[in-house]
A and B are shown apart, each in its own frame.
Chain A
Amino acid sequence: MIPARYQWPIGIVVLVVAALLPFVTTSFETSQILTRALILGIAASSLIFLASLGGGVSLAQTGMYGLAGFLFGNFVAADGGATMAIGIYPALALAIVGTVLVSLIIGLISSRSEGIYFLMITLAFGVIIKLIFEKATDLSGFGGINNIPAPSFLGNTTTDPNNLYWLALAISALVYLGVRYFARTPFGLAFQGVRDNPTRMRALGYNVIVLRTIAFGIGGLIAAISGLLNVWWLTEIAPGTIDVGPIIYLLLIAIIGGLYRIEGAWIGALIFAIIDNRLRSIHFVGDRTTTAIGVIFLLIVLLSPGGVMGIYESLVTRFRRPRTPGPTIASDDGTAASSVAGD
């Protein structure tokens, strides 16, 4: 773990280097690898946020991400969406509010379960959201909503991807700092207490269900933001975007990065974007990129029990054996030494 006093300087250096990257990469790389990694990273951070602070792996995050995109597409009445055109900014607000409301409902229901049950229930909700948009062609067009406009300050996101990249970078930084900050608020600490020992927290007078539900709503908010960036980036959204495959890819990203470190979301997303992009150019892989990704996924979960996986195995036992080091409050020099991962 990096000492607390180096965290801010290192964070700023990483941010500056990342901000300057588009000047050395081609616009294809900026768009297809860097921007994609940032958007997927924000989405994965919502999963890691819930897994690290709350101890539950939610597979409904891809559904939230798609829901925000579909809502936005419908509100601005892009091709294939329902006709209820409103401006981009009201649509943006409504899409976020709608997604957070749905995630609060799903959170309220799934918060009563833990561990593998939580995973199954959130997966069911994630797939149901996809099926709703697949069947309800009034809302998703036939084969998706196309030509979704982005806010005008982004310019043309296809020909000039840099503005969108910088926006995604800024939002990534905000989400990262926000989650780190949240972990130290009284609410964030209570939420982590629920992860470590729900029974004790209940005895202390906390409403465990409400805590988990609100946190799930925050996870939905983060996923919604990345979902909006995604439709501005792709300019379209289809039910296939949130199918079981993408649901699993988001989990894969979180696993590559480490389910218990919020910065792992972006690291995992970057590795995933590079692998996904490079695999296509390998001759014998060709069209079978999905198989290759599946094999990589399988190797990761099979071969690294002590490394990456060792952390995940503790996820299930986490409910019985609370972790000893809670989040530290502040270090000597007053800077936050707290880590989301509670290293």
Chain B
Amino acid sequence: MDEGTGLTAEVVSEAGPRVRLSGGTLFLFVVLLLAIVGVGIQAVHDLNLFAVVTLNGITLAGLYFIVASGFTMIFGLMRVVNMAHGSLYMLGGIVAYLIQQRMIPTDPTSFDLPQATLGSFLIPLILATLVVAIVGLIMQQVFLRWNQGQELRQALITIALSIIIADQAVAHFGGIAKQISTPFRESVHIPYIGMYGTMRLAGLIIAIVVGVLLLLLITRTRFGMVVRAGVDDRQMLSALGVNVQVVFAIAFLIGAFLAGLAGTLGGTINSVNKADDSKFLLISLVIVIIGGMGSLVGAAVGAVLLGLLDAYTAVYMPGDYSNYGIILTFVLLVVILAVRPFGLLGRAG
């Protein structure tokens, strides 16, 4: 299972998911159809609500994609399951919050967030993302560089790091969820939908930009070419005179950068929370398992599926059952893995 991942599958244009009309695929379609009909029946009652919920799901998917794309990229190239990816996400939010507090402290007598300016919003965001990228790079250089290829050991090392980061985060940050202040508090008007939060839209746009840039990086640059070659045959690439260690370091830096970026955005749109590490590790895992490990397009598909599922179950699950929406994530995972054991766009082995 060391040869090949979806990172190459998607750049060769004709190599999409090989859809065979087997019983399993048919089953997947039936399940999807039932889900669409189920949501559809309720959606016709209130089309505006449906549009808002769909946009909620898509913006959520944007955030999920930024996290999962970093995870899948590290895995695709280096076979490292970075169990500390959720911790890097959480670290992004925490560092951004702490920097912003230095710039504009919260008034302890008031529950309101301090009013941020463009500077006191962007500077913490950028600094925190860079800090997380560097933390990720250090992590790779100190703990993962010298045991390349020992998949389980590397996973265990990142697990140990995630325990330490989580506990230190609680110690220095506390257990209460906090939010990063933004100047973009107003809503904007979108046709057919109405007023919608600016930051959520901004998050979606950033996610699309990230996705396009990553795809261009992988398909159009020399670095991307080297990465694709490394995914297929690490030894051969090294033998050809490419400094694989530098490629790995840059890839890990980018992966950690994406986790940090998502953390700062998530901390602005939602909140900075001590439980985010396990939550976003799970989200990364599920998206990458659904989409196919190492596949960028797969991560996008998985993120949209999971985002929409989260948004629809929050609204359309009947009455008291909306808390059980997480069970549908379980069902989604089971159904997709039953039909495509390597994920929607994953390649066997």
Contact = CB atoms under 8 A, between A and B. Distances in A.
Interface of A: 57, 105, 108-110, 112-117, 119-121, 123-125, 127-128, 131-132, 135-138, 243-245, 248, 251, 255, 287-288, 290-291, 293-295, 297-298, 301-302, 305, 309, 312-313, 315-316, 319
Binding site of B, secondary structure by majority: helix, strand, loop or mixed? helix
A116 B171 contact: no
A71 to B, nearest CB: 15
Contacts of B320: 138
B152 A57 contact: yes
Contact of B341 (A113, A248, A313): A113
B81 A131 contact: no
Contacts of B99: none
Contacts of B143: 302
Given A116-B151, A313-B150, 16 more contacts: A105-B334, A109-B337, A120-B293, A125-B333, A132-B324, A135-B325, A137-B323, A138-B320, A245-B163, A245-B166, A288-B171, A293-B163, A295-B160, A297-B160, A316-B151, A319-B1
B324 A135 contact: yes
Nearest to B285: A124
A125 B159 CA distance: 17
Closest 6 CB pairs of A and B: A294-B163, A290-B167, A298-B160, A294-B164, A112-B341, A244-B278
Contacts of B281: 127, 244
Contacts of B167: 288, 290-291, 294
A319 B1 CA distance: 10
Contacts of A315: 152
Contacts, number: 128
8 contacts: A108-B338, A116-B81, A121-B337, A125-B330, A136-B323, A136-B327, A291-B164, A319-B1
Contacts of A112: 337, 341
B225 interface: no
A171 to B, nearest CB: 29
A128 B156 contact: no
A115 B79 CA distance: 11
A136 B327 CA distance: 10
A128 B164 contact: no
A298 B278 contact: no
A127 B79 contact: no
Nearest to B167: A290
A57 B79 CA distance: 17
Contact of A117 (B147, B168, B293): B293
B161 interface: yes
Contact of B282 (A128, A245, A255, A312): A128
Contacts of A131: 282, 326, 329
Given A109-B334, A131-B282, A301 B160 contact: yes
Nearest to B334: A109
A251 B162 CA distance: 14
Nearest to A59: B159
B330 A128 contact: yes
Contacts of B285: 120, 123-124, 127
A294 B326 CA distance: 29
A173 B1 CA distance: 38
Contacts of A109: 333-334, 337-338
A312 to B, nearest CB: 6
B185 interface: no
A301 B167 CA distance: 19
B135 interface: no
Contact of A115 (B1, B147, B168, B327): B1
Contact of A297 (B159, B324, B333): B159
A294 B325 CA distance: 32
B145 interface: no
B153 interface: yes
A316 B149 CA distance: 9
A297 B160 CA distance: 6
A248 B159 contact: yes
B349 to A, nearest CB: 10
A287 B174 CA distance: 13
Contact of A121 (B150, B156, B157, B289): B289
A298 B323 contact: no
Contacts of B333: 109, 124-125, 128
A248 B286 CA distance: 18
A136 B79 CA distance: 35
Contacts of B171: 287-288, 291
Contacts of B166: 245, 290
A117 B278 CA distance: 18
Contact of B155 (A116, A293, A295): A116
A132 B261 CA distance: 28
Interface core residue of A125, A131, A245 (most chain B CB under 10 Å): A131
Contacts of A291: 163-164, 167-168, 171
B284 to A, nearest CB: 10
A99 to B, nearest CB: 15
Given A124-B282, A128-B282, A119 B163 contact: no
Given A116-B152, A123-B285, A294 B337 contact: no
Given A116-B151, A117-B1, A316-B151, A295 B323 contact: no
Nearest to A124: B285
B97 to A, nearest CB: 21
B323 to A, nearest CB: 4
A69 to B, nearest CB: 18
